[in-house]
Amino acid sequence: MNSNDRANLIKRINTLEGLTDKERSDLLGLLRENKTYGLVWEDKPEDVEERLREELPILTEVPERVIISEDNDAPNHILIEGDNLEALAILAYTHEGKIDVIYIDPPYNTGNKDFIYNDSYVDKEDSYRHSKWLSFMSRRLKIAKKLLSDRGVIFISIDDNEQAQLKLLCDEIFGADRFITNLIWQKKTGAADANGIAIITEYILVYCLDPQNAKNIFSYNKNAFDIKRYRYTDEFEKIRGPFYYDSLDRGSIQYSDGLNYGIEAPDGSMIFPNGRLSFVNDGWTWKWSKEKVEWGIKNKFIEIVPTNKKKNGWAVKYKIYLNVDNEGNAIEKSVPYKNLISGILNADAANDIKTIFNSKAFSYAKPIELIKLFINLIANKKGIILDFFAGSGTTLHATMQLNAEDGGHRQCILVTNNENNICEEVTYERNRRVIQGYTNAKGEEVAGLTKNNLRYYRTGFVGRNRSMQNMRKLVNLATDMLCIKEDLYTEQNTFGGQKTYKGIFRYFDDGKKQMLVIYREEAIDELVDIIYDMDIPQPIKVYVFSPSEDPWEGSFDDVSDKVELCALPQAIYNTYRRILPKKKDAIIAPEDDALATTQKDKDLFDGMLNFTDEEEA
Q: Are 444 and 60 in contact (CB under 8 A)?
A: no
User: Is residue 238 classed exposed, middle or buried when 0-12, 13-18 and 19+ CB atoms within 10 A define those classes?
Assistant: exposed
Higher pLDDT, 198 or 407: 407
- The pLDDT of 507-513, averaged and rounded, is 95
Is pLDDT of 32 > 70?
no
3-state SS, 382-428, equals CCEEEECCCCCCHHHHHHHHHHHHHCCCCEEEEEECCHHHHHHHHHH
- The pLDDT of 467-487, averaged and rounded, is 97
Is pLDDT of 16 > 80?
no
> What residues contact 24, with CB distance under 8 A and at least 6 apart?
13, 14, 16
Residue 254: the pLDDT is: 72
- The pLDDT of 326-354, averaged and rounded, is 81
**In terms of Cα–Cα distance, which of 429, 426, 448 is closest to 437?**
448
Q: Are 30 and 43 in contact (CB under 8 A)?
A: no
pLDDT more than 90, % of the chain: 61
DSSP string computed for 138-180: HHHHHHHHHHEEEEEEEEEEE-TTTHHHHHHHHIIIIIGGGEE
Is pLDDT of 596 > 50?
no
300 dihedral zone (left: phi>0; alpha: psi -120 to 50; beta): left
Residue 538: the pLDDT is: 93
Q: Are 297 and 326 in contact (CB under 8 A)?
A: no
* Element housing 458 (H / E): strand 453-463
Is pLDDT of 27 > 90?
no
**In terms of Cα–Cα distance, which of 457, 445, 565 is closest to 515?**
565
Q: Are 518 and 501 in contact (CB under 8 A)?
A: no
Distance CA 1, CA 4 (A): 8
The dihedrals phi and psi of 33, each to the nearest 5 degrees, come to -65, -20
- The pLDDT of 234-261, averaged and rounded, is 88
* Element housing 135 (H / E): helix 129-147
Q: Which of helix, strand or coil describes residue 98?
A: coil
DSSP string computed for 578-596: HHSPPPPP-PPPGGGG-SS
Q: Are 188 and 298 in contact (CB under 8 A)?
A: no
* Element housing 494 (H / E): strand 494-495
> What residues contact 76, with CB distance under 8 A and at least 6 apart?
411, 453, 455, 487, 489
Average pLDDT, the chain: 86
**In terms of Cα–Cα distance, which of 170, 166, 163 is closest to 201?**
163
C-alpha distances out from residue 508 to 147, 254, 517, 525, 541, Å:
25, 74, 9, 19, 10
C-alpha distances out from residue 369 to 247, 288, 515, Å:
37, 42, 38
User: Is residue 330 classed exposed, middle or buried when 0-12, 13-18 and 19+ CB atoms within 10 A define those classes?
Assistant: exposed
Distance CA 337, CA 258 (A): 43
**Partner residues linked to 317 by β-bridges:** 247, 303
Higher pLDDT, 379 or 340: 340
Complete edge-to-edge strand list for the sheet that includes strand 540-545: 491-492, 505-509, 514-518, 540-545, 563-568
- The pLDDT of 328-341, averaged and rounded, is 77
- The pLDDT of 501-525, averaged and rounded, is 96
Residues present in the chain in total = 617
| Cβ neighbour number for residue 352 with a 10 Å cutoff | 22
| Omega prior to 569 cis, within 30 of 0 | yes
Q: Are 395 and 43 in contact (CB under 8 A)?
A: no
The domains located in the chain, with CATH, are 37-114+121-223+339-457 (3.40.50.150), 237-321 (no CATH), 465-610 (no CATH)
Residue 159: the pLDDT is: 92
Distance CA 92, CA 100 (A): 14
Higher pLDDT, 205 or 343: 205
DSSP string computed for 523-580: GHHHHHHHHHT---SSPEEEEEE-SSS---GGGGGGGTTTEEEEEETHHHHHHHHHHS
| Cβ neighbour number for residue 141 with a 10 Å cutoff | 22
- The pLDDT of 179-183, averaged and rounded, is 93
Using pLDDT thresholds of 50, 70 and 90, give the confidence band for residue 569: very high
Is pLDDT of 191 > 70?
no
pLDDT in tens, 537-564: 899 999 999 999 999 999 999 999 999 9
Max mean pLDDT among 10-19, 111-120, 221-230, 340-349 falls in 340-349
Residue type, 507: Y
Distance CA 270, CA 277 (A): 7
